[in-house]
Amino acid sequence: MSETNNTSPVEGEGGGPARVRVKKRIQPRRRRKILLRIALAVGLVAVLLAAAGFWLGNRAVEIKSDLEASNTLLPELKTQLLANDKAAANKTIASLRDHTSAARSAGTDPVWKAAAALPVIGANFSAGTEATVAADDLVNLAAAPLVRVYDSLDWKALTPAHGAVNLQPFSAAAPSIVSAARTVQLSYERLENIDTSSLLPQVAQPLEKAKSQLADARLALNTAGDAAQLIPAMMGEDGIRNYLLLVQNLAEIRTSGGIPGALAVLQVNHGRIKLGAQSSATALRAFDPPVDVDAQQEQIYTSRLGTYMQDVNMTPDFPTAAQTAKQMWEKRNPRQTIDGVLSIDPVVLGKMLKVTGPVELPSEAGLTGMPTTLTADNVVKTLLSDVYAKVPNPADQDLYFAGVAKKVFDAVSSGKGSGEQLVNALAAGTAEHRVLLWSAHSDEQRLLSGQTIAGSVTGPSVPAAAFGAYFNDGTGAKMDYYVKRRIQLVQGCDAGGYRNFTVKMTLTNTAPADAATSLPRYVTGGGDFGVAPGTVQTNVIAYGPSQANLDTAKVDGKQVPLGSYRHAARPVGTLTVQLSPGESKTVEISFGKVVQTSAPQLAVTPTIQPVNDVVGPLITACTK
């Protein structure tokens, strides 16, 4: 029988009362009541936990089901937009809204949010909340507004009509695109801030996949947002703009492609494109004194940067080359202000001709044997080889280049071909660094600087682990048409907590064995600059990531001297190689103390070869 303590008065010393402890029994009935209450409390807690678990389980199933359904619908939406099917896109948006709204409701449920406070497993519930909120925001604040301005985004709007591009759709669409881009950026940051290391695989893996998809969407929308803001202004919405067009000749290599031999001014006014004055780099003559250029780059590439228009792009940094070209043109044409510089090469002209169809050229005196019809298939060989073999007079060569540029731009501005296909062609050229653009207006250049088209080797568009392999002709001729290149990054063993990389470049002179006599003097250089006819001399330049160290250089496995410089905290190594006809050499320039926080990226000089044929996969050379 259970007992308890109580007190009772008894007689104490000196006759006074004293308090003593006595044991008192608890009644059986009362004991049973206490036990019953405890059992009821425990049972209630168990029922509540079971109910909460059941509730949370159901919510988890709902979230998984709705997010998976959304993931299935998103590719459909992309296909519908690309296929210009607005009706189907609106239906898909409605379905997406149903799913992401239901997922958000489940993920922000009070019980679900309370579970986020639980130790150990709480982070999984918190991650679920973030994912559902991000998904719902994406549909309502990004995808839906984009579909609403669908007509403005239709690629057909880019097709010139009556010689002009209608700029109004871009102005109308810009706010929605910029807003969507910001939403995607915020959603990406929301998921990026989640520490997935402690999450269950069932939660962590879908989150990583979602982050990857958002990263791609973020890049695309940021580019689209910048373009929507830039196009109206840069296409003359507020008045006439003049752009200096550089056509880079890949037969004589420069770091950003080729020598800018043919020049022209593109005038745009309210979307109307007109080809204005045409000239050549030779016609501008040497500048004495040279125009001002960045002292750090002048140290690497000599004062030729500011002396000759042909050499403004000896630096791979296109903003530097463009500003120098602008100064040169305006010095020779003081009544004309240049608002920006656009650069393309014959490979891009070929891509444009594939869209517009062939162009007809008038037969001119001195151009005997040259084709009068240029197509996507013959334009590269015609402009980079045949013109030098069949037209001995450089002035006539420039005349032919000018005629080609005019006819191609006339075809584009007249609306020949699909606007969508033209944009795809230019986008492909931009991805290979064959299309470059700089604006003299600081607000526009700020937007351009984050994009590939800017052609910068420093700044926001350059990855943290960026490497570069660039080339400048040292022959003083047009022999680079015959040079083939293969370039790869080689990752060595780590040392002292840092990564080590080597830029490996193999160059081959494919000119015929009798090039010295079978090729025109204008192509071989005739030995005028100390290089034997038929031999190719190339100045090789390699860039490492910011703050890395330049180590050593080898040619065909043997260590050689190396020029060492810095360009905006990036290490730069330079050396020169010569190749006789049929000869091949491998150059290796190594960089140490590379802090790699992202996948390494390799930028290269675009040549007549497709970039995918030039750049090979990363090689891992460490065998430890």
pLDDT 10s digits, 354-393: 999 999 887 664 566 788 889 999 999 999 999 888 888 8
540 CB neighbour count, 10 Å cutoff? 23
Cβ atoms of residues 489 and 467 within 8 Å: yes
Q: Is the pLDDT of residue 106 over 60?
A: yes
pLDDT at 564: 97
pLDDT at 52 over 90: no
Which pLDDT score is estimated for 407? 86
Longest dimension (CA), the chain: 147
Q: Which two tokens stand for residue 117?
A: 């406070």
335 vs 152: CA distance, rounded Å: 37
Q: Phi and psi of 537, rounded to 5°?
A: -110, 130
Q: Which domains does the chain have, with CATH numbers?
A: 3-28 (no CATH), 33-234 (no CATH), 241-438 (3.40.630.190), 463-620 (2.60.40)
Residue 612 has pLDDT above 90, yes or no: yes
How many CB atoms are closer than 10 A to CB 552? 14
604 beta partners: 469
pLDDT at residue 91 is higher than 80: yes
Share of the chain above pLDDT 70, in %: 84
Amino acid identity, residue 533? P
Cβ pair 22, 2 in contact under 8 A: no
User: Is pLDDT larger for residue 504 or for residue 262?
Assistant: 504
Q: Is the dihedral of CA 168, 170, 172, 175 positive or negative?
A: negative
Is omega for the bond preceding 260 within 30 degrees of 0, making it cis?
no
Mean pLDDT, residues 76-105: 81
* Mean pLDDT, range 545-553, rounded to an integer: 94
pLDDT of 605 higher than 50: yes
**Token digits of residue 347:** 């490979």
Torsion angles phi and psi, residue 249, rounded to 5: -95, 105
Question: Please, are residues 309 and 279 in contact by the beta-carbon 8 Å criterion?
Answer: no
Question: Strand order of the sheet with strand 536-543?
Answer: 563-567, 570-579, 536-543, 466-473, 601-604
pLDDT at 269: 93
pLDDT in tens, 161-189: 777 788 887 788 788 888 877 887 887 78
pLDDT above 90: percentage of residues in the chain = 47
Are 6 and 24 spatial neighbours (Cβ–Cβ below 8 Å)? Answer: yes
Would residue 14 be called left, alpha or beta, if left means φ above 0 and alpha means ψ between -120 and 50 degrees?
A: left
Q: What is the mean pLDDT of residues 66-86?
A: 75
> How far, rounded to the nearest angstrom, does the alpha carbon of residue 85 sit from its chain's CA centroid?
28
Per residue in 398-448, pLDDT (tens digit) is 778 878 888 888 888 887 877 778 888 988 999 999 999 999 999 999 999
More confident residue, 82 or 253: 253
Q: Which two tokens stand for residue 470?
A: 């660039």
Q: How far apart are CA 250 and CA 248, in angstroms?
A: 6
Whats the size of the chain, residue-wise? 624
pLDDT at residue 36, as a whole number: 60
- Beta bridge pairs of residue 274: 267
